[in-house]
Amino acid sequence: MEMGREFPAEKTMIGLVANDDRYDYDIRTLLQAFFDNEKIVADTANVRMVFKVTFHEDKEHCILFTSPEGKVYERHFSGNYKDKMQLRNVVKNVVYDILCEYTGHTLPWGTLTGIRPVKIITRLLEEGMSSKAAKQHFLSAYQTTEQKADISLRVALREQSVLKDIAYENQYSLYIGIPFCPSRCLYCSFTSFPIKLYESMVEDYLTALFLEIDFASHAMRGRQLVSIYIGGGTPTSLSASQLERLLKKVEESFCLEDVREFTVEAGRPDSITLEKLQVLYHSPVTRISINPQTMNDKTLELIGRAHTVEQVKRAYVLAREVGFDNVNMDLIMGLPGETMTEVSHTLSEISRLKPDNLTIHSLAMKRASNLNIMKEQYEGMLYGTTDEMLRRADQVAEELSMQPYYLYRQKNIPGNFENIGYSIPGKEGIYNILIMEEKHTILALGAGASSKYVYSSEDRIERTENVKDVKLYIERIEEMIERKRSML
Ligand code: SF4
């Protein structure tokens, strides 16, 4: 790449070329984190900037970065590049240092681009490292901020304490998906269909789902079920009597003696009624979610939630009156039109309600979401998640006597932030931790549900997916069951 090259202003691609592609994914994810998902191509023609990576057998490796202004950054480093275990973090640190120098900023998670950063600290603790040393290693090996290292350690310690009695080998969790919602939220990428349009299919959906439940209850006989999660979609989009039949079916099909948690997402306040809450309360359900996402009416309208702040409060008060003593609330940081002012308002409203769990998400630009598809329309309104928002949320959680207990990251979160679950000790959503830890099988039923089979003695994880489309799920239910049978 020659110096002083002119980059045409209209080109927005990054060229990544390497003589060996084994680190391409790692370099790409870092580039994406710094340049907010700018397109990356394996070419040097018609691109705005170029990363050229050359590995050598007998001399130092070289990374050359040519910026859009034509400035060249050159770094050399050594090590056996064929040993990815050994060199992966070195390569990432070299790339990271170049990008920090060029952009003039750092990333909160440093070189970490994976979904489960806590797993790294957990492993270090399991290997016998002290908390202090594990945190120090995290800071120096991955260049995270002090705050991210600290929260990862707090989450790892909390997870260990919550999961200490779980014997993964013979236990499993169950997920049931109800893929209907009152309307589609702007940022949604889940399997979700508007209930009004799909009403005529709900009965057939439940019939197919009950067949899958029958299969699962037989196939898992002899294994202990420890947690159940009914999500979706919004399960409370079903009518009270459909919900009651579903819960009865679960109760009759599985032994619930060892179930430590049974969560139902009553997510959308516009789907909640007193009758449905009573159905849930008089079943084995132990935990529900009522999700405001924001406590600003203007934003709720903008993101297509079709409910008001007042409805959130009413649904929450109703749930408490019915008797629920474990209620989660989800919030999203970085929603369109929201800055620190709106987030502060939301957090102070939530702090008055005093839920038992608080889940803080950072807005992700999911490919399949309407937000991403129509992103031009929201240009100038997406101020993103900030460190300050997450710090304030952490502070509010602490004021509510909560501790962080699970954390994960997603692709396409501008600014490379994370999602964190907080809970009052003893009320943690165990299913949420189990799905992150990947230490036991999670059998997932319903349209779009993805099962994870953990064979711990072989250190192996396999997955099966159900089709997302409701009609196809109903038509091909036998095939969905067969996919599971082959795994079990
Ligand atoms: S409530 Fe959840 S699943 Fe339903 S549309 Fe909104 S984001 Fe998607």
Task: Express each pLDDT in 78-104 by its tens digit.
Answer: 999 999 888 999 999 999 999 999 999
Residue with CA nearest ligand 1 atom 5: 184
Please state, in angstroms and rounded to a whole number, the distance separating the CA atoms of residues 358 and 230: 18
How far is the centre of ligand 1, averaged over its atoms, from the C-alpha of 187 (Å)? 8
Q: In which region does residue 337 sit, left (phi positive, over 0), alpha (psi from -120 to 50) or beta (all else)?
A: left
pLDDT at 7: 36
Is the pLDDT confidence value at 38 over 60? yes
Q: What pLDDT does residue 106 have?
A: 92
Residue 11's pLDDT band (cuts 50, 70, 90): very low
Q: How far is the CA of 225 from the centre of ligand 1 (A)?
A: 27
Write a three-state SS string for the chain. CCCCCCCCCCCCCEEEEECCHHHHHHHHHHHHHHCCCCCEECCCCCCCEEEEEECCCCCCEEEEEECCCCCEEEEEECCCCCCHHHHHHHHHHHHHHHHHHHHCCCCCCCCCCCCCCHHHHHHHHHCCCCHHHHHHHHHHHHCCCHHHHHHHHHHHHHHHHHCCCCCHHHEEEEEEEECEECCCCCCCCCCCEEHHHHHHHHHHHHHHHHHHHHHHHHHCCCCEEEEEEEEECCHHHCCHHHHHHHHHHHHHHCCCCCCCEEEEECCCHHHCCHHHHHHHHCCCCCEEECCCECCCHHHHHHCCCCCCHHHHHHHHHHHHHHCCCCEEEEEEECCCCCCHHHHHHHHHHHHHHCCCEEEEEECCCCCCCHHHHCHHHHCCCCCCCCHHHHHHHHHHHHHCCCEEEEEECCCCCCCCCCEEEEECCCCCCHHHHHHHHCCCEEEEECCCCEEEEEEHHHCEEEEEECCCCHHHHHHCHHHHHHHHHHHC
**So what's the pLDDT on residue 459?**
83
**181: Cβ contacts below 8 Å, ≥ 6 apart:** 188, 192, 193, 194, 195, 232, 233, 234, 237, 267, 268, 271
Is the per-residue pLDDT at 126 higher than 50? Answer: yes
Tell me, in angstroms, the distance from the centre of ligand 1 to residue 365's CA.
14
Residue whose CB lies within 8 A of the most ligand 1 atoms, among 183, 185, 307, for a mutation test = 185
pLDDT digits (tens, 9 = 90+) for 14-25: 999 999 999 999
Measured in angstroms, how far is the CA atom of residue 85 from the centroid of ligand 1? 39
Is pLDDT of 29 > 60? yes
232 CA: nearest ligand 1 atom: 3
Q: What average pLDDT score do residues 343-363 get?
A: 97
Q: What is the largest CA-CA distance in the chain?
A: 73
Instruction: Output the pLDDT for position 6.
Output: 39
Atom 2, ligand 1: residue with shortest CA distance: 233
Q: Per the confidence metrics, is the pTM higher than 0.85?
A: yes
pLDDT of the residue at 4: 36
pLDDT at 68 over 50: yes
Q: Whose CA is nearest to atom 8 of ligand 1?
A: 188
Mean pLDDT of 207-236: 96
Cα 453 to averaged position of ligand 1 atoms, centre (Å): 26
The CATH number of the structural domain formed by 168-483 is 3.20.20.70
At what angle are helices 131-142 and 118-126 packed, to 10 degrees?
140
What per-residue confidence (pLDDT) applies to 290?
A: 97
Among 195, 347, 328, CA closest to 267? 328
Pocket test for ligand 1, best of 180, 186, 190 (most atoms within 8 A of CB): 190
pLDDT of 412 reads 78
Every domain of the chain and the residues it spans = 14-103, 118-162, 168-483
CA–centroid distance, 189 to ligand 1, in Å, is 8
Residue 233 CA, closest ligand 1 atom number: 3
pLDDT at 438: 84
Q: How far apart are the first and last CA of the chain?
A: 54
- Most informative mutation of 234, 312, 331, 419 for ligand 1 (most atoms within 8 A of CB): 234
Please give the distance, rounded to the nearest whole angstrom, from the Cα atom of residue 151 to the centre of ligand 1: 28
Ligand 1: centre distance to CA 58 (Å) = 54
Q: Which CATH class is domain 14-103?
A: alpha beta
Is the backbone peptide bond immediately before 70 cis, with ω within 30 degrees of 0?
A: no
Ligand 1 mean position, distance from CA 236 (Å): 12
Nearest CA to ligand 1 atom 3: 233
Question: Residue 238 in contact with residue 266, Cβ under 8 Å?
Answer: no
The confidence score (pLDDT) of residue 350 equals 98
Question: Which atom of ligand 1 is nearest the CA belonging to 191?
Answer: 3
Query: Cα of 474 to ligand 1 centre, how many Å?
Result: 21
The string of pLDDT tens digits covering residues 373-426 is 888 898 889 888 888 999 999 999 999 999 999 999 887 787 778 999 999 999
**pLDDT above 70: residue 130:** yes
- The band of 27, judged by pLDDT with boundaries at 50, 70 and 90, is very high
The ligand 1 atom nearest the CA atom of 183: 5
Residue 76 has pLDDT above 70, yes or no: yes
Mean pLDDT of the chain: 92
Q: Does position 291 have pLDDT exceeding 50, yes or no?
A: yes
- Residue 37 has what pLDDT? 61
Measured by CA distance, the residue closest to atom 6 of ligand 1 is 185
Judge contact between 384 and 320, C-beta under 8 A: no
Cβ atoms of residues 44 and 15 within 8 Å:
yes
Question: What is the Cα–Cα distance from 160 to 406, expressed in whole angstroms?
Answer: 11
* Residue 128 CA, ligand 1 centroid: distance in Å: 41
pLDDT confidence of 5, banded at 50, 70, 90? Answer: very low
The Cα 279–Cα 284 span in angstroms is 10
pLDDT digit string, tens, across residues 136-175: 999 999 999 999 999 999 999 999 999 888 877 789 999 9
Q: String of b and e for 316-329 (b: at least 16 CB within 10 Å)?
A: bebbeebebebbbb
As for ligand 1, residues whose beta carbon falls within 6 Å of it are 181, 184-185, 188, 190, 192, 232-234, 267-268
* Arithmetic mean of pLDDT, 27-48: 86
With bands split at pLDDT 50, 70 and 90, how would you rate the model's confidence at 12? low
